[in-house]
């Protein structure tokens, strides 16, 4: 755990050598199922696919991976949209602005690739209240919900953010 403010946070593209550390972050997610297997498969597929339309980034301090986030075209690709996924910050480094730095990087990536929207599935708003409020503060809004998508009372809540000012 850091005993002074974290000022040496570095962001870079996810690499194969980061897999173990990133899966360690995934393991910190409180879930009734083991998410590391599906995350590992997704991340390995991204690394292996030279045509992968998306990016995954890691935040590091002194070479140690402390956060990750990615984005991709999603299941129904659009030339205007990227879907953000797997925003995870090591529990010891939360409240240091790591998540905001990762989002800024994803937004820059999306804009550089001429995307105008960033979307995500926030999951269960009641269980993920802090994540929900974080996304609202960062310009996202709920644009849709699929009730009971993940299970009884486990709704898929779609949030979106326009990356282009409408003014």
- Are 1-70+85-114 and 116-167 equal in CATH topology? no
**Taking the domain 116-167, which CATH number applies?**
3.30.70
Q: Whole-angstrom Cα distance, residue 48 to residue 50? A: 6
Q: Where are the domains of the chain?
A: 1-70+85-114, 116-167
Compute the C-alpha angle 127/83/26, nearest 5°.
Answer: 50
Q: pLDDT tens per residue, the chain (167 residues)?
A: 555 555 699 999 999 999 999 999 999 987 777 889 999 999 999 999 988 999 999 999 999 999 999 999 987 889 999 999 999 999 999 989 999 999 999 999 999 999 999 999 887 777 778 888 999 999 999 999 988 887 888 888 899 999 987 65
Enumerate the β-bridge partners of residue 108. none
Looking only at the bridges linking them, the beta strands covering 117-121 and 141-151 are unpaired
Closest CA to 84 of 73, 74, 75, 71: 71
Between the CA of residue 73 and those of 55, 62, 70, what are the distances in Å?
10, 31, 11
The reported pLDDT for the residue numbered 129 is 82
**Taking the domain 1-70+85-114, which CATH number applies?**
3.40.630.30
pTM over 0.85: yes
The reported pLDDT for the residue numbered 149 is 84
- The three-state secondary structure class of 136 is helix
The reported pLDDT for the residue numbered 122 is 83
């Amino acid at each position: 755990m850091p005993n002074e403010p974290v000022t040496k946070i570095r962001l870079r593209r996810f690499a194969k050598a980061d897999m173990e550390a990133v899966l360690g972050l995934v393991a910190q997610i409180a879930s009734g199922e083991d998410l590391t297997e599906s995350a590992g498969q997704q991340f390995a597929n991204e690394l292996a696919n030279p045509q992968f339309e998306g990016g995954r980034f890691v935040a590091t301090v002194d070479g140690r991976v402390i956060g990750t986030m990615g984005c991709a075209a999603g299941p129904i690709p659009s030339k205007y949209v990227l879907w953000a996924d797997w925003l995870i910050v090591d529990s010891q480094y939360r409240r240091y602005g790591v998540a905001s730095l990762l989002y800024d990087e994803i937004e820059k990536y999306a804009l550089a690739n001429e995307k105008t929207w960033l979307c995500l599935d926030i999951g269960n708003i009641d269980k993920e209240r802090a994540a929900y409020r974080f996304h609202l503060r960062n310009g996202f809004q709920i644009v849709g919900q699929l009730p009971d998508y993940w299970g009884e009372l486990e709704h898929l809540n779609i949030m979106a953010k326009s990356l282009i000012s409408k003014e």
